[in-house]
Amino acid sequence: MQYSLGIDAGGTYTDAVILRDSDSRILDTSKSITTFPDLMVGIRNAIDKLNPEYLKQVKLVSISTTLSTNTILERTGYPVGLILVGDYTVPRELPADYRITVRGGHDSNGDELHPLDLAAVEQFAVSLKDKVSAFAVSSYFSTRNPEHELKVKQAILKLTGHPVVCGHELSQELGAYERAATAILNAQLIPITYQFIHSIMEEVKKRKLDAKILMLKCDGSVIDIESAKLRPIETIFSGPAASVMGASYLSGLDTCAVIDVGGTSTDVSLIKKGNPELCEKGAVVGGWQTSIKAIKIESSANGGDSHVWFKKCIRIGPRRVMPLCFAAVQYPNFKEKLEKNPVPLRTMLNEHIQPTKFFVSTGINPINLTESERKLLEYIKDEPLSIHEILNKMRRFPSPAVLDSLIQQRAIQAIGFTPTDALHVLGEYTEWDVEAAQIGAKKLSRFTQMGTHAFCKKVKQQVAKNMVYSLMSFIMEGRGKDGIKKLLEEEIPVQYKLNIPVVMLGGPVKAYYEEIKALIDAEIIVPEHARVGNAVGALVGKGIKRIEITIRPSSMENPDQNFLVFTPAGREKFEQYQMAVEYSHKVGEELILDSMKDFGLPESSIKIDTSVEYLSPPGWKQTPMETRIVFVGTCTPGVITY
């Protein structure tokens, strides 16, 4: 008997599942708290909770992780040197620590515009050998001819030994800026991803598992572990991708809307006929536009651990905090502290000054702390402190900006009332300390003139409204978000109707079923294993490889003679159009098969779909001005041979 292990290291929780390969039945599941900065601690904790007899027979491990996304968002990637090749001006800043523009590049036909200034490249590389961990190179029209990028890569590898990322290796799109940004971010991630993957491999080896390791990409497909080391940028947003794939698998639906409620955020998305919707322009992460195709999602700061606080009205988020009910389990004296914490005046209330807000050290020591940050860390230690206690120690209120900075750097963890606490009070989810949640609800409800139970019911209803608002604004993109919000917030006797089912994933999502059902007329499905749906999604992602090949006449003056074929492998010339088409199909299929051999697949198990698009202006009677051929190779984990 053989089994597969799926792992999702999310922003708040790390989930794990074991699936039996013979009938795809889920045999065991587990959850643990995600650990920062070392995700491996949380992953080990999740694996340790699984049945060891099943683990022994695991032959496939597939992982989705927030590592790449968080590294970019927190700007903690390794330093990179960027080489831009060609006479063009990048319109915006790029996330590179060091940068040089050298002579070279090609035109839209892939013909060399200027010889490559390799001497300048070599001098730049040598000067940065001890300052950067990787290099990125983006050449003008490298998607038409990658020759200069490849020459730069070869030279830098020889001189420094550092990884070199070429723009054409990651994208066949023409946008020079997006291609450069993608290459830089990928280069920043390589050392971190290498360390993470090495830790995963060591963990698998330590547990004596003879298993193949895959990682989920942001388009819902999987990538083998060796490719993931070189192309970590493709794993951004793999968590949302896991939720879509998991929802479809658990519900048995190939078309549905998905609401994934995590601790940090709620993500909504769609899957149609088994294929998730993808962003047309590529994923935006940390403000950087990339050329990486990712699943289209709407993410809102409305999770189970979002901070519930009061200032003139009940507010939820946008920041995540540790729930009071969980903090009471982690810190023995916390409940007593919470009960004794004074209730501030209404006029003093803000996000940090709340009767239920505390701060505790995580043990992480960031580099380059400011003097103000360093002083505050001297007071915030291993026991949670309220603003009132910090005031007594420091003789003044701590700066909100300093608190925010330390939270962002994960040096301190905020604790507060959350929707998870509200569910504990309502008795609908009681995994941790109910009494701590009740104490917190009682303190906050004083500002609302509601009873404790009514206050928690109100929080729950608002969270449900936020979920539906995210879903409907995603589905009705560009059709008036204000109108959607108004309908949900006010007592209007109408209801949205959806003709596709809505699948909900996440820990306590079942508790929100009735509220969601009251807000939208749709079939609402909470699958049996909804609490670990993302780990299931990490395991059931398809093996997918996309190759795009373009054919163009070499000259518009004689469009029926001499054709250029642009492939990821380079540029070729043919006298006749039919020869160019035949070559394109041959090379496209070969590239698909070569790539997917990394999954250990026999050729017979790989399905290749081909689509052709002809582009010509109205009235054009010659051979197509441009022919685009897209090859998509697919397989499912069930046919992977171990």
Of 11, 7, 9, nearest in space to 322 by CA: 11
**Per-residue pLDDT tens for 83-113?**
999 876 766 678 888 999 999 998 888 888 9
Model confidence at 124: pLDDT above 90: yes
Q: State the pLDDT confidence band at 561, using cuts at 50, 70 and 90.
A: confident
Strand pairing of 502-506 and 524-525? Answer: parallel
What pLDDT shows up at residue 640?
Answer: 40
Place of tokens 């790539």: 595
How confident is the model over 14-29, as pLDDT tens digits?
Answer: 999 999 888 888 999 9
Name the E strands within 298-453: 298-300, 306-310, 314-320, 322-323, 358-361, 385-386, 412-416
Pairwise CA distance, residues 161 & 428, whole Å? 56
Q: pLDDT tens digits, residue range 519-553? A: 888 999 999 999 999 999 888 876 777 788 999 99
Per-domain residue ranges of the chain: 1-65, 69-236, 542-639
CATH number assigned to the domain covering 1-65 = 3.30.420.40
- For residues 25 and 283, the model is more confident at 25
Per-residue confidence (pLDDT) for residue 492, from 0 to 100 = 62
DSSP 399: P
Average pLDDT of the residues of the chain = 87
The pLDDT, as a whole number, for residue 123 is: 96
Find residue 289's DSSP bridge partners.
284
pLDDT at 641: 38
pTM, full prediction:
0.79
490 pLDDT band, cuts 50/70/90, is low
Predicted pLDDT at 514: 92
Residue 634, helix vs strand vs coil = strand
CA distance 509 to 497: 20
Distinct helix (H) and strand (E) counts, the chain: 21, 31
Higher pLDDT, 624 or 490: 624
Write the pLDDT tens digit of every residue in 204-255. 999 999 888 888 888 888 888 888 888 888 888 788 888 888 999 999 998 9
User: Among 42-56, 272-286, 569-583, which is the least confidently predicted range?
Assistant: 272-286
Which pLDDT score is estimated for 565? 93
